[in-house]
Amino acid sequence: MTFEVDQRDRAVLVTIDPPEPELAEWNAEELRELLASAAVDLVFEMRIRRPHPDPAYYIGQGHALELYELVQERRASVVVVGENLSPRQQRSLEEAATVRVVDRTQLILDIFAQRAHTKEGKLQVELAQLNYLLPRLSGIGAELSRLGGGIGTRGPGETKLESDRRRIRERISDISSELEEVRRHRQIQKSGRRKLPFPSAALVGYTSAGKSTLLNALSGSEVQVDSKLFATLDPTTRRVVLPDGWSVLITDTVGFIRDLPHHLVAAFRATLEEVIEADFLIHVVDATHDYSREQRKAVEQVLEELGVADKPVVTVFNKADAVADQYELRRLVAETPNSVYISAKTYEGLPYLMRQMSLTVQSLLTRVTLEIPYSRSDLVALCYDRGRVLSADYQNDKIIVTAEITNDLVGKLGSFRVEAE
């Protein structure tokens, strides 16, 4: 269900610049990239300085009149606002500009709709769009509040607005049920994966940082790679064998962006669960980006919101081959714990990344020797599921197991642990 922005739209971009000049430039650059990713032609940028958005017109009534003239002069078909609008602000700007007004969340939703190819991805986007649309129905038009006409609709009846809201709520309920079914299937797949002695990692990072390219470089796969924002919506998992013999299941996830719309976070719960359930994270950073520091902070903020900020993280400064100041890059890596610099495109630095991943995996494991009675032989299976069994000695009254297991499992098996000879 795509809406609001169509291909070949001509857009006037409207922003209120933040007080910091650097952030203002980053904001403007990112919005241009979003428009390009949505296949929208940018015909004019209207950048305004004011301390606070106007509660009625966002940019103020005077600037709204100026916006109308720009729309007519540039033959624009849509106005894109660089922040999220209230329903009142959106209605007022549409009345003033006489064309559609799309805010930042709607723009991102449209890009997601264009990128969604699987049934799950399409359902997640539609759910986000409907949740965004529902509170805004009252401002779509007077015709929605009229009583319906025809047999069965006369009298007090149900207004058109109430009917539309009811249908949207029903559709939201249906999609949520379908996604819950998808989630159950995904849990079954994950439980199958957990039977393999592999830790799991999730690739995270700002959109267009090079996560898919890195997954291809590590695994030899051919995951779709695109320079446009949000090229990857559906998670892809590949097995990567590390130099010490351990294998890691690495999942490529949707790219993050600053102020990621809450509608998307809620709708893409199934996808983001890959991040939540991973044993560790690989944070891919575009080292060539002028605002890479701000992008890192934005990703860390999303991880905080997901409740995974305390997971082990390997930070990967990607695109090192294109960094002009190599000394600064090396200094940055030296100051950042568990980090490396690489080029996923040229494979530069990949051995160092593999070594860092091996060290991270080892930090997740503890070597233990266990004496397990036959009545609890299920714990032997658990060791195989959640670690690597090095030896299993089946004696008359017990099983002596030496294994490398995940740290959370050590506590559960503490009463069976013995000192190795």
Q: What separation, in Å, do the N-terminal and C-terminal C-alpha atoms of the chain show?
A: 64
Confidence of residue 271 (pLDDT cuts 50, 70, 90): low
Answer yes or no: is pLDDT of 258 > 90.
Answer: no
- Condensed to tens digits (0 to 9), the pLDDT of residues 33-43 reads 889 888 899 99
Q: What six digits make up the tokens of 310?
A: 């305390």
At 151, the pLDDT band (50, 70, 90 cuts) reads: very low
**Residue 275 CB neighbour total at 10 angstroms:** 23
Tell me which of 219-223, 241-245, 337-341 is least confident: 219-223
* SS3 assignment, position 344: coil
Contacts of 260 (CB under 8 A, 6+ apart): 302
Distances from the Cα of 385 to the Cαs of 193, 237, 381, 382, in angstroms?
A: 9, 18, 6, 5
Q: Which residue has the tokens 């971009």?
A: 13
Enter the DSSP assignment of 148: P
Among 20-34, 148-162, 244-258, the minimum mean pLDDT is found in 148-162
SS3 content of the chain, % helix, strand, coil (to 5): 50, 20, 30
Q: Among 94-108, 235-249, 304-318, name the one with the lowest average pLDDT.
A: 235-249
Q: Are the CB atoms for 100 and 9 separated by under 8 Å?
A: no
**What single-letter amino acid sits at 174?**
D
Are 235 and 204 a contacting pair, CB within 8 Å?
no
Q: Which residues contact 399 (CB under 8 A, 6 or more apart)?
A: 371, 372, 373, 374, 377, 380, 392, 393
CB 333 within 8 A of CB 317: yes
Q: pLDDT tens digit string along 87-101?
A: 899 999 999 999 999
d(CA 287, CA 298): 15
Q: How many CA atoms lie within 13 A of 346 on its CB side?
A: 10
Q: DSSP for 231-298?
A: ---S-EEEEEE-TTS-EEEEEE-PPB-TT--HHHHHHTHHHHHHHHH-SEEEEEEETT-TTHHHHHHH
The separation between CA 152 and the C-alpha centre of its own chain, rounded to angstroms, equals 46
Contact between 71 and 140 (Cβ < 8 Å):
no
Please name the amino acid found at residue 38: A
DSSP H helices, 307-401, are 326-335, 350-363, 378-386
Torsion angle (degrees, nearest 10) of CA 107, 108, 111, 113: -100
Sign of CA dihedral 163, 168, 171, 176: negative
Domains in the chain, please, with CATH? 10-112 (3.40.50.11060), 117-185 (no CATH), 197-362 (3.40.50.300), 365-418 (no CATH)
Q: Determine the residue type at 60.
A: G
Task: Supply the DSSP symbol for 60.
Answer: -
- Say yes or no to pLDDT of 230 above 70: no
